[in-house]
Amino acid sequence: MSRRLEKWEKIPVYRKAQELFDLAEIIADALKEDEMKEHLAVQMLSNAALVQAKIAGAEGGGLYSLRMQNAVLIKLAVQDMFNAVSFASMVEINEEDYVDLMREKVDEFRIVFNEWIRGFDKTYDIPDNWAIRFDTSTPEQEKLEDLMFDEDRFFEDFDDEDDEENSEPGEE
């Protein structure tokens, strides 16, 4: 019995991520001989799994800044995975040279990845108080900041209630 594919498992970037994961598994199997090789194998597999998880996370959330946050983590994970393969080749701890094969798969993934993130809706977003995406000097940002959570104003209501509870009868 086959399981139903989730929406994000059907998109091209996820399918390319699966190809990266499959290649990472092959390379990891070739590296499982000693502690150093095992560490690189685990690093590659965990990064390959992270790529897939972050694609699912980006597809599950609609806010542009959250989707881009996942995209940045995906980029870093793919780079770390490639660096692990390059390191294994550089110190000659793998019998096969997987660098060119991994480079080819990463390039294929990068092209599909770029197409995928270009499809993110930049208008569907809210400021997140980190000022990474929003320019705080524009009138548009000022309007958006009015929509932001104001911690002082929020807790001001609680302070008023505390003052009323702690005051003596007849005091205000």
Closest CA to 82 of 14, 32, 27, 15: 27
34-83: pLDDT as tens digits: 677 788 888 989 999 999 999 999 998 788 888 999 999 999 999 999 89
Give the chain's domain count: 2
Non-local (6+) Cβ contacts of 64 within 8 A are: 120, 121, 122, 123, 124, 125, 133
Question: Does the residue 1 lie in any domain?
Answer: no
For the chain, percent of residues with pLDDT exceeding 70: 66
Q: How confident is the model at residue 28 (pLDDT cuts 50, 70, 90)?
A: confident
More confident residue, 76 or 121: 76
Average pLDDT over residues 145-158: 62
Angstrom distances, CA of residue 75 to CA of 24, 50, 161: 16, 10, 48
List the CATH number of the domain containing 60: 1.20.1440.60
Question: Does the residue 138 lie in any domain?
Answer: yes
Is the same domain home to 84 and 147? no
Range of the domain at 150: 126-172
Is the same domain home to 26 and 110? yes
Max Cα distance, the chain (Å): 85
Average pLDDT over residues 125-146: 64
Question: Does the residue 71 lie in any domain?
Answer: yes
pLDDT value for 58: 92
More confident residue, 47 or 164: 47
Question: Does the residue 39 lie in any domain?
Answer: yes
Report residue 169 as tokens. Answer: 């009868």
Question: Does the residue 14 lie in any domain?
Answer: yes
Is the same domain home to 79 and 161? no
pLDDT value at 157 more than 70: no
